[in-house]
Structure 1
Amino acid sequence: MGLSTAELDRLFVFRNQGKFVNSAEEFQEVTKISDTLLKTIAPYFKFPDWVSSVPSTTRKHQSQSKTKVLVKDLNTATASDLMAVYGIGETLSKRIVKFRDRLGGFLVDEQLYDVYGLKPEVVQKTLLKFKVKEVPTIKRININKASAEELAQLVYIPKSLAYNIVEYRGLNGVFRSFQDLKNIEKFPSEKLDRIALYLSL
């Protein structure tokens, strides 16, 4: 049809919210295509008969009221629920649930970005339909007392890193802030904020 990838992405995001395009003007508003391209492809559009008989302002109001998205809790969503998002198939939906179970539940929406193989643009689409509504109660791991085995129970910390943490603590004394963790070899500093949610000093 001549649409760019960015224009198609805007349309997909709009459709994944459960909304429908009901006019050529609305199609342009959603995709941001040029007037020239709209004029070229508009003859190929086909809308329900009722659309032409309803004023555009009324159509917009009806569309918004009919397509209001009900956001579900990310912590109670099933694999089947998650597959409703474009870009999430059976494998990824099960992986999200497994990752969530290993964490004991998502504490913040951004943890969805940590699921292996889940693309950022798919995460963005998912967060339009799912959010962390009920924050689970978790038992934090004391970074100054935990053994390497205890630290390795956290999905973000592999065994090798757990041993590095304990070794660093033995050489430098107790951690006075979570920022000290950045000094440890191979520590994923970009995920410190999320990891710190599961730790205590």
Structure 2
Amino acid sequence: MKSLIKDYLTVTKKEWNGLVVLILLIIAVWMAPVVYQRVHKDKLINLNGFDATAARLHMQPTDTAATIAVKMFRFNPNHLPATDWQKLGLNDHQITTIQHYEAKGGRFYTKADLKKIYAITAIDYKRLEPYINLPEKDDYTEKSFTIVELNSADSTRMTTIRGIGPGYAVRIIRYRDRLGGFYKKEQLKEIFGIDSLMYHDLAPQVSVDAARISKINLNIVTLNNLLVFPYLSYKQKNAIVEYRNQHGNYAALDDLKNIPIIDDGILSKIAPYITFK
């Protein structure tokens, strides 16, 4: 019995050496954080110096306008040079926003129109308003004027629309020719550069005579003649012509539903432009 216990409790030299190494490793891991904290002491942040630096950064100009002394003067905001906007205290972002608005055909007719520019804050407008060289109210609606019919107007007539210059007149006419004519005023928003804000200004000045639309006879039209039509993709145009060649003439708009790549949304868009005789 004593021999068994002795054999069980006996530690060989190799095992004893391993036990010593393990104990030393445990001690080293336990002491490592203490030694590290003593060698690498945390440095205190000088908050006073940090606050002073932050204040200096805050005082530095963030754009060109901050480096130009503000000088108020009477001005017309339409196509006002950027340097003059800077003198009036506007920053680069605000000036760029105004220039984008004008590039899209926007124009200021009254003082309050400047409020349409989202970058102009209420404080900015209150400061600028006494110097804006425009009427307080828009008397345009009180004047007698002729509504421009979009499907018959030429480029000269188009430019009589307030907010439409020669460039936009050409865009409208080119898009009208591709369509075959407008059947509703809202189609103006499909023209590049005419957004909802600009359309809101144009809508009261224009009308549409849908009877002037040049319709497409699907039973005789060729693929080449269909290519300019903007409401169909090339695959859809080709499918319409090929289906007719294979199955004969179309009798009604519903026949187009047999073409898998033409859905109800497409049919509703092209319906005003399609005829079968």
**Counterpart residue type for residue 163 of structure 1:** N
Choose which of 27, 31, 38 in structure 1 pairs with 2:125: 38
Deviation at 1:188, TM superposition (A): 9.2
Residue 72 of structure 1 deviates from its aligned partner by 1.2
Q: Aligned runs of 1:118-129 on 2, under 5 Å? A: 118-121=192-195, 124=199, 125-129=201-205
Contact 1:148–1:163 under 8 Å retained in 2: no
1:113 and 1:120 in contact (8 A); partners too: yes
Tell me the residue number matched to 2:110.
20
Listed one character per residue, the Cα deviations across residues 112-167 of structure 1 (whole Å, up to 9, x for unaligned) are: 3455xx3232861443432214631655524xx44644872772357654322233
Give the distance between the partners of 2:235 and 2:264, measured in 1 at CA.
16
Partner secondary structure for residue 183 of structure 1: coil
Larger Rg: 2
SS class of match (2:211): coil
Q: Is 1:155 the counterpart of 2:240 in the alignment?
A: no
Counterpart of 2:169 in structure 1: which amino acid? S
| More moved, 70-79 vs 121-130 | 121-130
The residue number in structure 1 matching 2:169 is 93
Equivalent residue for 1:183, pick from 260, 264, 269:
260
Provide the residue aligned with 1:166 in structure 2. Answer: 241
Q: Aligned-pair distance for 1:100?
A: 2.9
Classify 1:189/1:126 alpha carbon distance in 2 versus 1 (closer, same or farther; 3 Å). Answer: farther
Which residue number corresponds to residue 197 of structure 1?
272
Instruction: Determine which structure has greater relative contact order: mean sequence separation of CA pairs < 8 Å that are 6+ residues apart, divided by chain length.
Output: 1
Check the 8 A contact 1:165/1:181 in 2, yes or no: no
- Uncovered stretches (5+) of structure 1, i.e. residues with no partner: 49-58
Query: What is the Cα deviation at residue 82 of structure 1?
Result: 2.5
Q: Which one-letter code corresponds to 2:269 in the other structure?
A: R
1:74 positional shift = 0.8
Structure 2 gaps, min length 5? 1-88
Deviation at 1:88, TM superposition (A): 4.2
Distance 1:67 1:109, change over 3 A: same
Query: Which segment drifts farther, 146-155 or 128-137?
Result: 146-155
Task: Name the counterpart of 1:63.
Answer: 139
Q: How many residue pairs were aligned?
A: 173
Do the aligned residues in 2 keep the contact of 1:182 with 1:189 (CA within 8 Å)? no
Kept in 1, the 8 Å contact 2:154–2:173? The answer is yes
1:191 and 1:108, CA in 2 relative to 1: closer, same or farther beyond 3 A?
A: farther
Contact 1:107/1:132 (8 A) holds in 2:
yes
Confirm or deny: 8 A CA contact 1:140 1:198 kept in the other structure.
Answer: yes
Tell me the residue number matched to 1:76. Answer: 152
1:136 matched to 2:212: yes
For 1:165 and 1:138, locate their aligned partners in 2 and report how far apart those are by CA, in whole Å. Answer: 19
RMSD: 4.7
Superposed displacement of residue 66, structure 1: 3.9
CA distance in structure 1 between the partners assigned to 2:139 and 2:130 by the alignment: 22
What amino acid is the match of 1:196? A
Note closer, same or farther for the CA distance 1:162–1:200 as it changes in structure 2 (3 Å cut): same
